[in-house]
Amino acid sequence: MLEGQDGQATQKAMQILVALGTIYGAERMLPVSSVQIAGVSYDNLGEAGLQFLSAMADGAGRARVLATLNPAGMDIENWQVLGISPDFAEQQQRVIAAFARMGVITTCTCTPYLTGNLPRYGEHLAWSESSAVCYANSLIGARTNREGGPSALASALTGRTPEYGLHLSSNRCPSLTVQVNARLAENTEFGALGKLIGERIEASKAIPYIQGIQAASLENLKSFCASLATYGGAALFHMPGITPEATLFIPPDATFTVIQADVDAAIRSLNDATEAEVDFVSLGCPHLTIHEIARISQLLEGRQVKKEFWITTARPTKQIADRMGYSAIIEAAGARIAADTCCVVAPIQGRFTALATDSAKACYYAYAKNRLKTVFLPFDEVVRQALQ
């Protein structure tokens, strides 16, 4: 591949991986079983990114393993209702077309494990979306570093990744015990816990071993992964009774304790807007499960929203919602199911003042990317915000 026998794009891809492997001291390349590629929104990629993708597609780059995409800057099929400009839509469609030409499956989601890109324990991957990387490593026990868009694409085109970082067993050991003495149920509480632990480990890059969690739903855990990755750059945690590799380790001596008051304070810290200021409501960071969409349709049935309300999910999940009649109920209420995209990667700068969400990650980027204030509320309360 490096010598160019498989074409220009594959050669370029292998050059990227060799350079990465050299920097990180990898001894060999590993085969990967799946890839997830971030850097899909034209809002982030820009013209230079689009040209890189087009050149790789023109150079006969073709995916050798299962590869899916992170959210794009718009709903690929229904962008008009989200207030996306035709110019942006045209560029975004070119990005998607370039990926499709390379044989990348154009499911645009940060929860690939819910929609057909579900790895198994111990498999090596090249994934890039930070929340999904944390989920795959921790909840599934697959192995991936947090790839950039170009290196993930390079792995798709070669089926390889350099062996370093979290691919090595020796780098997956916990180094900090987190003792949670709080009862958590809502996504907001798990998001707040992710923020607390993330801020504690951000500098040390410790891998946390988290004790004291009695129960957690899939939805809670995807929220937690998103928050831990956002506030701590973490790509792996262990949680006895919940994550598969926790049984391999004993709790490290160094301990960080979280109590209910810490969780409550972290929740308060993500509320800097008044409810009266909220003019944008969004659920689906990370992308919603069908179970969550069912709940929204239950809460919206026969009612009318008063604010712009985006319900963001993967296209295959929306198709199930269509079949079940949830989409019709939600749209009749005036809310929008936005597939393929989210409130962070869509080009919404300047359109809104304050966002209501149950996602700690969305709160972080609402301000960092779009200068939005936030109201951080439990799931059902966010829906009620849209109705007020």
Q: Does the footprint of ligand F3S cover residue 346 (CB under 6 A)?
A: no
Q: How far is the CB of 28 from ligand F3S (least distance, A)?
A: 32
Question: What is the C-alpha separation between 168 and 161, in angstroms, rounded?
Answer: 12
Do 67 and 36 form a contact (C-beta atoms < 8 A)? yes
Please list the alpha-helical segments (H only) found in the chain: 8-23, 42-58, 86-101, 130-135, 149-158, 187-201, 218-232, 260-269, 290-300, 315-324, 326-332, 360-370, 379-387
Q: In 3D, which of 76, 92, 141 has the Cα closest to residue 314?
A: 76
- CA-CA-CA-CA torsion sign (199, 203, 205, 210): negative
Question: What is the C-alpha separation between 324 and 248, in angstroms, rounded?
Answer: 42
Q: Does the footprint of ligand F3S cover residue 226 (CB under 6 A)?
A: yes
Find the binding residues for ligand F3S in span 97-136 (CB under 6 A). 110, 131
Beta strands 208-211 and 176-181: pairing type?
parallel
Kindly tell me which of 124 and 287 has the beta carbon lying closer to ligand F3S: 287
Q: What are phi and psi of 220, to 5 degrees?
A: -60, -45
Residues 6+ apart with CB under 8 A from 274: 354, 375
Q: Does the footprint of ligand F3S cover residue 344 (CB under 6 A)?
A: yes
Question: What is the C-alpha separation between 191 and 133, in angstroms, rounded?
Answer: 16
Q: How far is the CB of 365 from ligand F3S (least distance, A)?
A: 6
Q: Does the footprint of ligand F3S cover residue 232 (CB under 6 A)?
A: no
Q: Does the footprint of ligand F3S cover residue 286 (CB under 6 A)?
A: yes
Q: How far is the CB of 284 from ligand F3S (least distance, A)?
A: 6
Do 310 and 281 form a contact (C-beta atoms < 8 A)? yes
Q: Does the footprint of ligand F3S cover residue 234 (CB under 6 A)?
A: no
Among 342, 363, 377, 382, binds ligand F3S (CB under 6 A): 342
Q: How far is the CB of 58 from ligand F3S (least distance, A)?
A: 28
Q: How far is the CB of 226 from ligand F3S (least distance, A)?
A: 5
Q: Does the footprint of ligand F3S cover residue 285 (CB under 6 A)?
A: yes
Question: What is the C-alpha separation between 287 and 130, in angstroms, rounded?
Answer: 13
Q: Does the footprint of ligand F3S cover residue 57 (CB under 6 A)?
A: no
Question: Binding mask 358-377 vs ligand F3S (x if CB under 6 A, - otherwise)?
Answer: ---xx--x------------
With contacts defined by CB under 6 A, name the span among 133-141, 242-250, 341-349, 375-383 that binds ligand F3S. 341-349
Kindly tell me which of 129 and 186 has the beta carbon lying closer to ligand F3S: 129
Kindly tell me which of 164 and 310 has the beta carbon lying closer to ligand F3S: 310
Q: Does the footprint of ligand F3S cover residue 195 (CB under 6 A)?
A: no
Kindly tell me which of 64 and 222 has the beta carbon lying closer to ligand F3S: 222
With contacts defined by CB under 6 A, name the span among 47-55, 188-196, 206-214, 338-346 that binds ligand F3S. 338-346
Residues 6+ apart with CB under 8 A from 135: 111, 113, 221, 222, 225
Q: In 3D, which of 138, 113, 192 has the Cα closest to residue 374?
A: 192
State the DSSP H helix or E strand holding residue 180, giving kind and residue range, or none if neither.
strand 176-181
Question: What is the C-alpha separation between 73 and 122, in angstroms, rounded?
Answer: 32
Question: Binding mask 242-281 vs ligand F3S (x if CB under 6 A, - otherwise)?
Answer: ----------------------------------------
Q: How far is the CB of 47 from ligand F3S (least distance, A)?
A: 22
Q: What residues make contact with ligand F3S under the rule CB under 6 A?
A: 70-71, 110, 131, 226, 284-287, 312, 342, 344-345, 361-362, 365
